[in-house]
Amino acid sequence: MKARRRVLETVAMTAPIPDLGGREIGRHVGAGPGPTLVAVAGVHGNEPAGIEAARRVFARIERGGVAVRGELVVLAGNVGALKRGVRYESKDLNRQWSEARVAALRSPGWAPADAEDREQVELLGAIEAALGRARGPVTLADLHTSSASGVPFVLFGDTLAQRRFVGAFPLPVIIGLEEQVDGALTEYWTRRGCVTFTVEGGQHGDPASVDSLESVLWLALHEAGLIEGAALPEVRGGYEGLDARRGDLPRVLEVVSRRAITAEDTFVMEPGFRNIARARAGQLLARDRRGDIVAPYDGVVILPLYQGLGSDGFFWGREVSDARLRASRVLRRWGVDRLLPWLPGVARDPERATRFVVHPQGARLVPLGVFHIFGYRRVRERGGALTVERQVD
């Protein structure tokens, strides 16, 4: 995904914001104590729409008539890259948030090697300061835009609290996509006890993307409990606007598989798919040197690759029914995943309670869907075995 985005960035039109002040775009401390909403905008420097959206929200709050409890703070993600209008200077700031890396940043004698190292240390400090001031639960939103056109959508790590929160957005919410990348900002803060989500607000440079991200901020303020009353016109209007943009796309989708590709595959996506697009069973999706790639059943194509090189041809997903969501919630509450080690070839990783090791002979017998029900969505190959891991509930 990294290589593909790097190529796309060079063709995307975005305006640099050289007059960006410091990292803090704004902070509003409400009259009474309450929850905290931290929003990060522009962790990719070619995606300034979230900053404009936040400025509108602060301007509206300053005009009065909006009662706020707790604290809203909005931070610029990659200040240097935003000023230059580039995705990043040396490396992707949204792939640097593994436990090991953050621990290294904090170790004595550590010195930044490049621009993103400096950005990360500052951003880490700014978010920790907000957590230190917090007098209630903390929600963290990460605001993005994308190179391709399409409907805005929400990504989140599959924890029950996060599932509940993103239900407030009338946008497609995609379960299991965040787990496809390592070192995302939001995942780090989920492990620190925040409720987090990522929103792709639409295409870079499209004014509608600013509108969508503004709507997301209003809905997040409401859902997190900083402002009251859905009657607030901004909240109601935001909901209606996003609902209209979703059109006939489903509300809840899950990623079933990732079409991994290499340059030798000569992968070519069929034209006409948007960011999220329905496909019928048997429909031609793409071609590679082995022939046609068709939809295995009625489902959804997510993030098709059209420009440049990358390692993800597309993600294949499907709609998740209410019944399935309810069933999975109940099973997880009961802790039925304690029974997973009884499956053939499955063992809990002794080093990490949230991870299972699936031995190859077992993997053929155990469909990964069983793990998905319990939120185990991060599938990686380690030393000849598969590991499946979930975020902390």
**Residues 154, 171: contact at Cβ < 8 Å?**
yes
Of the ranges 140-148, 314-322, 338-346, 376-384, which one interacts with Zn ion (CB under 5 A)?
140-148
The Cα 195–Cα 352 span in angstroms is 21
Within residues 302-341, the interface with Zn ion by CB under 5 A covers none
Cα radius of gyration (the chain): 21
Least distance in angstroms from the C-beta of 144 to Zn ion: 3
Cβ closer to Zn ion: 3 or 284?
Answer: 3
Cβ–Cβ < 8 Å for 20, 79: yes
Rounded Cα gap, residues 213 and 25, in angstroms: 15
Residue with tokens 């391709």: 148
Task: Say if residues 317 and 248 touch (Cβ distance below 8 Å).
Answer: no
Mark the segment that binds Zn ion (CB under 5 A) among 144-152, 166-174, 225-233, 254-262: 144-152
CB of 389 to Zn ion, least distance (A): 23
d(CA 226, CA 132): 18
Q: How far is the CB of 143 from Zn ion (least distance, A)?
A: 9
Q: Which of 337, 377, 380 is nearest to 162 (CA)?
A: 377
| Number of neighbours of residue 325 by Cβ within 10 angstroms | 16
- Name which of 6 and 27 has its Cβ closer to Zn ion: 6
* Per-residue x/- track, 95-134, Zn ion (CB under 5 A): ----------------------------------------
Q: Among 221, 391, 310, which residue's Cα sits nearest to residue 5?
A: 310
For Zn ion, which is the closer residue by CB, 4 or 144? 144
- φ and ψ of 320, to 5 deg: -105, 125
Q: Closer to Zn ion by CB, 200 or 337: give it.
A: 200
**Region of 45-53, 57-65, 111-119, 168-176 interacting with Zn ion (CB under 5 A):** 45-53
Number of residues that bind Zn ion (CB under 5 A): 3
163 contributes a contact to Zn ion by CB under 5 A: no
- Closer of 8 and 72 to Zn ion (Cβ): 8
Identity of the residue, 79 or 286, whose beta carbon is nearer to Zn ion in the bound complex: 79
- Angle between helix 49-63 and helix 207-224 axes, rounded to 10 deg: 60
Q: Binding mask 46-75 vs Zn ion (x if CB under 5 A, - otherwise)?
A: -x----------------------------
Task: Identify which of residues 47 and 119 has a Cβ nearer to Zn ion in the complex.
Answer: 47
Q: Is 44 in the site for Zn ion (CB under 5 A)?
A: yes
Tokens of 310: 């990358």
* Residue 144 is a binding residue for Zn ion (CB under 5 A): yes
Q: β-strand 195-203 against 138-146: which pairing, if any?
A: parallel
Neighbours of 114 (CB within 10 A): 11
Cβ neighbourhood burial of 288 (10 Å; 0-12, 13-18, 19+): middle
Instruction: Please identify, using beta-carbon distances, which residue of 307 and 354 lies nearer to Zn ion.
Output: 307
Cβ at position 209, least distance to Zn ion in Å: 11
Minimum Å distance from CB 329 to Zn ion? 30
CB of 47 to Zn ion, least distance (A): 5
In terms of phi and psi (left: phi > 0; alpha: psi -120 to 50; beta: otherwise), the region of 340 is: alpha
Nearest approach, Cβ of 92 to Zn ion (angstroms)? 9
Nearest to 158, CA basis, from 360, 337, 290, 347? 337
**Which one, 144 or 378, has the nearer CB to Zn ion?**
144
Q: Which stretch binds Zn ion (CB under 5 A): 38-46, 161-169, 267-275, 327-335?
A: 38-46
In angstroms, give the least distance from the CB of 201 to Zn ion. 10
d(CA 69, CA 72): 9
Q: Which residues bind Zn ion (CB under 5 A)?
A: 44, 47, 144
